[in-house]
């Protein structure tokens, strides 16, 4: 009989960040005079745990809530309810000094290396901004040395040649490396990388992914890696969570998600990965990055009920809870009760 995962059980493991029942609604006004409104539940009771030194992948179609979850975890967006625990502390009410301390320990790497760097600020100024904000005690020479060390760490050498460049003098891959350098210069405990390679040429992606893996191996960073691309996510992640319309539906070690997907939605995602087999057709309708025609309006039901070939009465009466179907493999689906 699968085991329902208890909060107490989860807390026994050491984690960098965890959430409990995180929920976020967007109310969108509609119609010419904007009297009608529609609720989109972007996060629906999200419960997860990202362990120390772990890269935690997050996949799901466009609009499933991945970026909203990333912004919520870093307190860059308010949520309506739920909890976020960071390094053992509930950060929901953090303001002032506590929030400042939290900002020092967390960073984000953005999807678009073109717009994430200010075009009129040099690489040096851009990279050292977090140091200047959080470590005012550092002397100019120490700041310079740290900048050089960090630029080299992300594979740009000789570092001195990049210090006075501006973003328009860099290639896409170089800009993303600078984005990563800025995110890690302050030695954060937790980094969120939101689609960090999706705007880069395929030939550059492996280099950026390897930098992220190095950061984890050498410096033990915890990371959330958000992507549409399942193969890329598998390459970097220890575990992968699958999100559908605001609900997490499956979490397991990367190879188990790929080789033994259990939730019907995860199965459809994995089936959509193109394989080098001329007999197998890739169904473009199920391609990564598709946008669902449905939204989660906040009903207490399985978010996949409208599309699931196995839907049952129960699925629309109450959303399924996570169950541990095999070791460390959690699935939220009535097929596994």
Interface residues with Mg ion (CB under 5 A)? 66-67
**Tokens read off for 233:** 């996510």
Residue 213 sits in the site that holds ligand SF4 (CB under 6 A): no
Alpha carbon 107 to its chain centroid, in Å, reads 12
Looking at 147, 170, 181, 305, which residue binds ligand SF4 (CB under 6 A)? 305
**Least Å distance between CB 91 and ligand ATP?**
20
Please report whether residue 60 would count as binding ligand SF4 according to CB under 6 A.
no
Residue from 152, 311, 321, 324 in contact with ligand SF4 (CB under 6 A): 311
Measured distance CA(182)–CA(110) in Å, rounded: 11
Report the distance separating Cα 327 and Cα 317, nearest Å. Answer: 28
- d(CA 242, CA 256) in angstroms, rounded, equals 12
Distances in Å between the alpha carbon of 216 and those of 55, 79, 152, 205?
8, 29, 16, 17
Among 138, 144, 273, 335, binds ligand SF4 (CB under 6 A): 335
Q: Which of 59, 294, 337 is nearest to 305 (CA)?
A: 294
If one asks whether residue 333 binds ligand SF4 (CB under 6 A), the answer comes out as: yes
Using CB under 6 A as the binding rule, whether residue 261 contacts ligand SF4 is answered as: no
Q: Which CB atom, from 177 or from 329, has the smaller least distance to ligand SF4?
A: 329
Asked if 183 and 212 touch (Cβ cutoff 8 Å), the reply is: no
Q: Given the complex with ligand SF4, which of 38 and 267 has the nearer CB atom?
A: 267
By the rule CB under 6 A, 252 interacts with ligand SF4: no
**Which of residues 65 and 130 has its CB atom nearest to ligand ATP in the complex?**
65
Characterize the bridge pairing of strands 190-194 and 106-109: parallel
- Three-state DSSP string of 248-287: EEEEEEHHHHHHCCCCHHHHHHHHCCCCCCCCCCCCHHHC
Cα distance between residue 116 and residue 182, in whole Å? 11
C-alpha dist (Å) from residue 127 to 117, 144, 178, 250, 279: 10, 10, 7, 37, 49
Binding site residues, ligand ATP, CB under 6 A: 26, 28, 40, 42, 60, 62-68, 228, 295
Interaction partner, residue 304 (ligand SF4, ligand ATP, Mg ion, none; CB < 5-8 Å by kind): ligand SF4
Q: Which does 305 bind (CB under 5 to 8 A by kind): ligand ATP, ligand SF4, Mg ion, none?
A: ligand SF4
Which residue lies nearer to ligand SF4 by CB, 269 or 302? Answer: 302
# residues contacting ligand SF4 (CB under 6 A): 14
From the CB of 332, what's the least distance to ligand ATP, in Å? 18
What CA–CA distance (Å, rounded) separates 170 from 130?
21
Regarding 100 and contact with ligand SF4 (CB under 6 A), the answer is: no
Strand order in 81-86's β-sheet? 36-51, 15-30, 81-86, 89-90
Query: Which of 26, 206, 310, 328: binder of ligand SF4 (CB under 6 A)?
Result: 310
Tell me which of ligand SF4, Mg ion, ligand ATP, none is bound by residue 62, counting a contact when its beta carbon lies within the kind-specific cut-off of 5 to 8 angstroms.
Answer: ligand ATP
Which pairing describes strands 55-59 and 222-227: parallel, antiparallel, or unpaired?
Answer: parallel
Residue from 22, 148, 154, 315 touching ligand SF4 (CB under 6 A): that is 315
- Cis, peptide link before residue 66, omega less than 30° from 0: no
Give min distance, CB of 293 to ligand SF4, in A.
16
- Quick one: 31 or 309, whose CB is closer to ligand SF4? 309
Q: Which of 174, 304, 323, 329 binds ligand SF4 (CB under 6 A)?
A: 304
Q: Which of 72, 156, 170, 302 binds ligand SF4 (CB under 6 A)?
A: 302
Of 114 and 166, the one with the shorter C-beta distance to Mg ion is 114
Q: How many whole angstroms separate alpha carbon 97 and alpha carbon 133?
A: 13
Cβ burial 157-176 (10 Å sphere, 16+ → b, else e): eebeebbeeebeebeebbbb
Judged by the rule CB under 6 A, the positions of this chain that interact with ligand SF4 are 263-264, 302, 304-305, 308, 310-312, 315, 320, 333-335
């Amino acid at each position: 009989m699968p085991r329902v995962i208890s909060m107490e059980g989860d807390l026994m493991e050491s984690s960098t960040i965890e959430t409990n029942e995180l929920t976020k609604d967007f109310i969108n006004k509609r119609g010419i005079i904007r009297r009608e409104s529609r609720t989109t539940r972007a996060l629906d009771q999200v419960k997860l745990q990202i362990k120390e030194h772990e890269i935690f992948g997050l996949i799901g179609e466009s609009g499933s809530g991945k970026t909203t979850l990333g912004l919520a975890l870093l307190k860059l967006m308010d949520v309506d309810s739920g909890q976020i625990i960071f390094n053992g502390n509930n950060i929901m009410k953090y303001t002032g000094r506590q929030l400042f301390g939290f900002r020092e320990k967390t960073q984000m790497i953005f999807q678009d290396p073109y717009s994430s760097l200010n075009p009129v600020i040099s690489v040096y100024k851009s990279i050292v901004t977090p140091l200047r904000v959080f470590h005012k005690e550092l002397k100019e020479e120490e700041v310079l040395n740290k900048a050089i060390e960090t630029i080299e760490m992300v594979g740009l050498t000789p570092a001195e040649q990049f210090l006075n460049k501006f973003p328009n003098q860099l290639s896409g891959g170089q800009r993303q490396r600078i984005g990563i350098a800025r995110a890690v210069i302050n030695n954060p405990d937790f980094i969120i990388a939101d689609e960090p390679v999706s705007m880069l040429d395929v030939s550059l992606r492996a280099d950026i992914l390897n930098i992220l893996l190095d950061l984890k191996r050498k410096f033990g960073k915890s990371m959330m890696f958000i992507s549409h691309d399942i193969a890329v996510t598998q390459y970097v992640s220890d575990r992968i969570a699958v999100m559908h319309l605001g609900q997490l539906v499956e979490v397991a070690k990367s190879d188990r998600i790929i080789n033994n997907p259990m939730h019907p939605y995860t199965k459809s995602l994995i089936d959509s990965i193109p394989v080098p087999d001329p007999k197998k057709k890739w169904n473009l309708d199920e391609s990564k990055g598709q946008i669902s025609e449905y939204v989660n309006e906040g009903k207490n039901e399985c978010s996949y009920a409208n599309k699931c070939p196995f839907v049952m009465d129960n699925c629309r009466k109450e959303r399924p809870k996570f169950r541990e179907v095999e070791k460390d493999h959690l699935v939220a689906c009535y097929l596994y009760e």
